[in-house]
A = this chain, B = another copy of it.
């Protein structure tokens, strides 16, 4: 069934699922194919296989504990493990393997209080799973966990480890329509417990069944952090358009289009409500494919990030390591970032020097790289009609070669290039404006504060720094997918390392809050005779922020963002609410928690964050404190991750 699982095929997989316990496989498959489906979900056994439950009931409809001796003998023989009789099976052989998803019998009752029913259910479950796994089916639809399901979880858990190719799709209705009290997150909590019991096994995923009424977006949000392998559309949830054709509500459409980004399989479930009597079964799948075709084009950030969703990258260490040319190349392509810098320099020049003045404004670009900020500063000066002298300071010897070429071929005399580390250089001149682009996803995590502390000695006492400040924000985050990625390294170091990630399969549990800020220039620092700070304690930070989490979830880690004031009201931000439109230079940063913490709905958590330093390095430590447990303090003393000074 390669067509279902191959994510590179733009065509989506839509399957058929008929509401029947007995059927003829040949005619079902033929019919599904004729109506344009890519696969079909079929029961593994005929319903009469239920006889092996031996769930004889008495007059009061209670399961009878005394079954007749003959049955008892027959049951014990069956329990020894006999093969299926071929007439018990709907999925009999390999003929349609690539086209089939097997369905486990709904009558299996693993949480019966009756030992006999429970035991026989487990044997039947194993028998069915073992059979379809033998046939090599790629997926099996498993029944929805009922209110008590721990023995179901245990039974399935035992089998998960033995599956090689086959995945379990667990049928999870997005909302529990059985209960009168509508607890909108109850099904999520049920699923969450089930998979926790099963150790988040990678073979266990969700077939999410959509209801007629979708809950609030914040409730829907949580499902994006889950491993959804299939989405089930009961035919009754479709509305009818003017022509009598089935369509989905706008809210459904929006949710389905979001789900499409995760490339699940889609399933049309004929629930026999016969809601659109004049049209055939084919039109539902055609409609879903239509939705897929009318997905909006990817925006610039999505295009840039395509393929990087939920992929863990280590943050750059541009101070300790010299960046490669291709890295500069990528970041110089950002259409937004350099326009913001140009605007900032432009306004700073306007404010600093009167029009028509002949005064020369000294601009120093510290950490000039291959020179994009030099070019933009020249353009700003031209636009502002101000005279400037520009210094380009860079410590990367390879980038410095490009700077020499740029000076010779493009910039000319207005630009002076200087090779060296801004923290150690002797001042060539005093600057009016200091321009730098030293920010990481977490703001200060590429050591902008320490670098600008050093560069500040080049700045006039009334000089301007662009950026003038940057603030760091964090949010509690849920993502079993990303946490599993980190877990797969099986060591502490990876749990105590931040990652740059384009977040996709995540639920943000509360809005970001600011934890700290750096402002430049910093005139309060005590400096030695060379003009350098005596130590780095002024750049340490500690912050505790409290979050209210309205809807429960698993806290897997902390997302980090920055927002920077380049100059006055010119803001550059990767914070979701104020994100600079179309800027792709930074993905958010992710700090994992070693042990995920379950947060009930309406809970309060404190996140503590530190920026710490000694003479060789800077590092972060973080921990979470709740009224129902707390984490360890992660990355003590920078043992697992740090940034070299």
Q: Give A contacts to B, CB under 8 Å.
A: 69, 72-73, 76-77, 79-80, 115, 118-119, 150-151, 153-154, 157-158, 161, 193, 196-199, 526, 534-535, 537, 540, 542, 544, 595, 597-598, 600, 606, 608, 610, 621, 623, 625, 627-633, 636-637, 639
Give, as a whole number of angstroms, the nearest-CB distance from A633 to chain B.
Answer: 5
Which residues on B sit within 8 Å (CB–CB) of A193? 625, 630
Assembly CA distance A542 to B629 (angstroms): 29
User: Which are the 4 A-B pairs with shortest beta-carbon distances?
Assistant: A598-B629, A76-B534, A199-B632, A76-B526
| B610/A154 in contact, CB under 8 A | yes
| B158/A636 in contact, CB under 8 A | yes
CB-CB under 8 A for A197 and B150, given A526-B76, A628-B628 = no
| B636/A161 in contact, CB under 8 A | yes
Residue of B535, B544, B623, B629 touching A79 (CB-CB under 8 A): B535
Q: Can you spell out 19 A-B residue pairs with CB atoms less than 8 angstroms apart?
A: A69-B526, A79-B534, A79-B537, A80-B534, A115-B540, A115-B542, A154-B623, A154-B633, A154-B636, A157-B633, A157-B636, A161-B636, A196-B630, A197-B631, A197-B632, A197-B633, A198-B632, A628-B628, A628-B629
Residue of B76, B526, B537, B637 touching A161 (CB-CB under 8 A): B637
Which residues on B sit within 8 Å (CB–CB) of A606? 150
| A623/B526 in contact, CB under 8 A | no
| A623/B199 in contact, CB under 8 A | no
| A118/B542 in contact, CB under 8 A | yes
CB-CB under 8 A for A154 and B198, given A80-B534, A118-B542, A119-B540 = no
Which residues on B sit within 8 Å (CB–CB) of A197? 623, 630-633
Assembly CA distance A157 to B631 (angstroms): 13
Return the chain B residue nearest A639 by Cβ.
B161
| B198/A623 in contact, CB under 8 A | no
Assembly CA distance A600 to B629 (angstroms): 8
Return the chain B residue nearest A123 by Cβ.
B537
Assembly CA distance A540 to B636 (angstroms): 46
| A153/B535 in contact, CB under 8 A | no
Residue of B115, B600, B621, B632 touching A196 (CB-CB under 8 A): B632
Return the chain B residue nearest A544 by Cβ.
B150
Which of A77, A595, A621, A636: most chain B Cβ within 10 A?
A636
Which residues on B sit within 8 Å (CB–CB) of A637? 158, 161
Return the chain B residue nearest A621 by Cβ.
B154
Which of A193, A542, A608: most chain B Cβ within 10 A?
A542
| B73/A526 in contact, CB under 8 A | yes
Assembly CA distance A73 to B527 (angstroms): 9
| B600/A535 in contact, CB under 8 A | no
Return the chain B residue nearest A528 by Cβ.
B76
Assembly CA distance A199 to B623 (angstroms): 11
Which residues on B sit within 8 Å (CB–CB) of A633? 150, 153-154, 157, 197-199
| B537/A119 in contact, CB under 8 A | yes
Assembly CA distance A161 to B636 (angstroms): 9
| B542/A151 in contact, CB under 8 A | yes
Give, as a whole number of angstroms, the nearest-CB distance from A598 to chain B.
Answer: 4
Sample of 4 more A-B contacts, CB < 8 Å, known A150-B633, A153-B633, A199-B632: A77-B534, A151-B610, A198-B633, A598-B630
Which residues on B sit within 8 Å (CB–CB) of A627? 600
Assembly CA distance A537 to B126 (angstroms): 15
| B150/A625 in contact, CB under 8 A | yes
Which residues on B sit within 8 Å (CB–CB) of A625? 150, 193
| B623/A150 in contact, CB under 8 A | yes
Give, as a whole number of angstroms, the nearest-CB distance from A508 to chain B.
Answer: 20
Which residues on B sit within 8 Å (CB–CB) of A158? 636-637
Return the chain B residue nearest A552 by Cβ.
B628
Give, as a whole number of angstroms, the nearest-CB distance from A431 to chain B.
Answer: 25
| B623/A600 in contact, CB under 8 A | no
Which of A199, A597, A608, A628: most chain B Cβ within 10 A?
A628
Assembly CA distance A537 to B81 (angstroms): 12
